Amino acid sequence: MNVTPICTGTTKDQLEAIRAKVQVMRRTSVTGSATLNKAETILARAEFETVLAKEQIRVTAAVELEMERARKRIHDRDNNAGDCCPMCLDDLLPLDFSGMKGAMFVCCGKRTCWECADKWDEKRADGTCTNRNMNECPLCKTIQPKEHERVPMLQKHVETGKGWAMNILSVMYREGAGGLKDNKNISYDLCLKAAKEGIADAQYEVARGYFDGERNGINFTKSETQTLHWARAAANQGHKDAQHLIGALHEIGQGVSINKDEAYRMYTLSAYQGNSEAACSLGKYVVMEQTNTQQVRKGMAVAKNVDSAQFNLAIYWFGKAAECGDTFGMANLVFQLLYGLSHWHKYAETDTLTGCSPLPLMMWLVRKIKASNHSSTSDAMDRQVIPVLKQYQDFCACCTRRPRKLSGCSQCKVFHYCNRKCQSKHWKEGHKKDCGGHWIETFFPNLRK
């Protein structure tokens, strides 16, 4: 996830001046107007950027501290010889935010950083390394094995106690890949051995088994002690899913004392690496700081009673989760916009907010959620969101009249009109901008991709 600190372009004094101007306009206006809406949008964006800049600085500081700890753990170990890229000699940090430790070559079990692996792949693709066999491993010069040759090679590595080979074979037995028959028992045995050899992916699988009582068809006896042991081992190696699990354990106090600061830190590290569930957890955590509603406990965090800064922070993290395609992130982003829009616009409940309306974005998110066939979030949309959006089908968005027959906008499917003249006028007044996307989407450029 992108956490590069942004330049708000608005100083503290300028923000206060904008806020004072909007407050004056709100006191003198008894209803929404294009001028007020525009001023409120400028203020909302400035406040959002300010909150986002502070949050990104916090995240960057947390990540840098963890990176320093990772470097220290690497250099304190006795068996440090294999923890640097053999091509560029950079450390293969457990917490490198581009994948666990880098690319693995099955023939020799050595790794390179992702940057070197990508460069090698590019040269193989364009044929620039004409003096070498492109089928050779760049590290040991062994001809790269074909799919059916991988299993015997991996089995030889397993016999010599290579944990990484155990983990790969475990996955292959679990999925029935590489010509192997699906065998959950062999898969589990290899996974447990790999975990004991320090392979983070295997450690996380074992931790989830002890946490859930079942994993990949194997039954476990639930154990808080074992969950914490294996999850912590994987999280210390930078495993993003294990970091999220550790965060959850600290938040609910399972196996450890409740520690919200540690939970927030682990969620942050996990979300930074792209874990959408962790980003969603951060959003809910922000909301739960000021409200303890049942919606939060059921997974839907509602920003009715939070302050403006907390609302913007929740929007950010739910937006990052939604950007990763997380259904809960999308649903929670919809709820923030539905119930918390008054943080941005005073007359949000009575005005169509032409030119700055989030309703087309909300409808797009609802359609994506419905298409995912995720029953709980889809049902929540049916009960709480769609009835609100359907209200805009009862009157003309331009002249507010309520004729018997209305035609809707074919693009956003939210606003309706009594005739083409009204639709054209509303389009020019600002609906063109609304259909093209809400301003909040500029902070989540991959949301609709």
pLDDT at residue 80, as a whole number:
43
Chain center to CA of 300: 16
Residue 219 covered by a domain:
no
Q: Which is more confident, 302 or 448?
A: 448
Residue 111 covered by a domain:
no
CA-based nearest residue to 47, from 443, 384, 326, 406:
443
Alpha helices in 176-223 (DSSP H): 184-196, 200-212
Segment 369-402, tens digit of pLDDT: 999 988 889 999 999 999 999 999 999 999 999 9
Q: Give how far Cα 266 sits from Cα of 92, 246, 328, 352, Å.
A: 21, 7, 19, 40
Residue 255 covered by a domain:
no
Instruction: For strands 407-408 and 218-219, give the pairing.
Output: unpaired
What domain range is 56 assigned to? Answer: 1-80
- Residue 294: pLDDT band (50, 70, 90) is very low
Rounded mean pLDDT, 139-157: 82
Alpha helices in 213-358 (DSSP H): 224-235, 240-252, 260-272, 276-288, 294-297, 308-323, 327-340
Residue 414 corresponds to which amino acid? V
- Residue 409: pLDDT band (50, 70, 90) is very high
The pLDDT mean for the chain works out to 85
With beta carbons less than 8 A apart as the criterion, state whether 216 and 207 touch: no
Least confident of 56-65, 180-189, 218-227, 288-297: 288-297
pLDDT at residue 99, as a whole number:
41
Residue 114 covered by a domain:
no
For the cut 90, the answer to whether the pLDDT of residue 320 exceeds it is yes
**End-to-end alpha-carbon separation of the chain, Å?**
15
What is the DSSP secondary structure assignment for residue 364, as one 8-state letter?
H
For the cut 70, the answer to whether the pLDDT of residue 140 exceeds it is yes
Residue 94 covered by a domain:
no
The residues near 445 (Cβ < 8 Å, ≥ 6 apart) are none
For the cut 90, the answer to whether the pLDDT of residue 339 exceeds it is no
pTM score of the predicted model = 0.85
- Long-range CB pairs of 436-445 (<8 Å, 24+ gap) are 437/360, 437/361, 438/356, 438/357, 438/358, 438/360, 438/361, 439/41, 439/45, 439/356, 440/48, 440/315, 440/319, 440/358, 440/361, 441/361, 443/48, 443/52, 443/316, 443/319, 444/319, 444/320, 444/322, 444/323
Rounded mean pLDDT, 294-316: 67
C-alpha to C-alpha distance for 274 and 324, rounded to whole angstroms: 8
Residue 285 covered by a domain:
no
Q: Which is more confident, 92 or 196?
A: 196
- Residue 415: pLDDT band (50, 70, 90) is very high
- In the Cβ-directed half-sphere of 155, how many Cα atoms lie within 13 Å? 9
Q: Which of 80, 104, 122 is the last residue of a domain?
A: 80
Structure tokens of 420? 């083409």
Rounded mean pLDDT, 8-13: 72
| Share above pLDDT 90 across residues of the chain, in percent, rounded to a whole number | 51
Rounded mean pLDDT, 214-242: 92
With beta carbons less than 8 A apart as the criterion, state whether 402 and 396 touch: yes
Rounded mean pLDDT, 286-307: 57
Strands (E), 98-232: 103-104, 111-112, 214-215, 218-219
With beta carbons less than 8 A apart as the criterion, state whether 409 and 359 touch: no
Residue 119 covered by a domain:
no
Number of domains in the chain: 2
Least confident of 67-76, 103-112, 138-147, 261-270: 67-76
Find residue 218's DSSP bridge partners: 215
Residue 216 covered by a domain:
no
Q: Which three-class secondary structure state does DSSP give residue 13?
A: helix
Q: Which of 80, 108, 131 is the last residue of a domain?
A: 80
Q: Which of 80, 113, 146 is the last residue of a domain?
A: 80
| Share above pLDDT 70 across residues of the chain, in percent, rounded to a whole number | 86
CA angle in degrees (0–180, nearest 5) for 62-66-70: 170
For the cut 60, the answer to whether the pLDDT of residue 81 exceeds it is no
pLDDT at residue 166, as a whole number:
93
Helix (H) and strand (E) counts in the chain: 19, 6
Q: Which residues of 89-100 are buried (b: 16+ CB within 10 A; e: fewer)?
A: eebbbbbbeeeb
Least confident of 133-142, 157-166, 251-260, 378-387: 133-142
At which residue do the structure tokens 């809707």 appear? 408
pLDDT at residue 247, as a whole number:
96
pLDDT at residue 234, as a whole number:
93
C-alpha to C-alpha distance for 311 and 304, rounded to whole angstroms: 9
Segment 91-112, tens digit of pLDDT: 666 544 434 456 778 888 777 8
Rounded mean pLDDT, 140-147: 78
Q: Which is more confident, 131 or 367?
A: 367
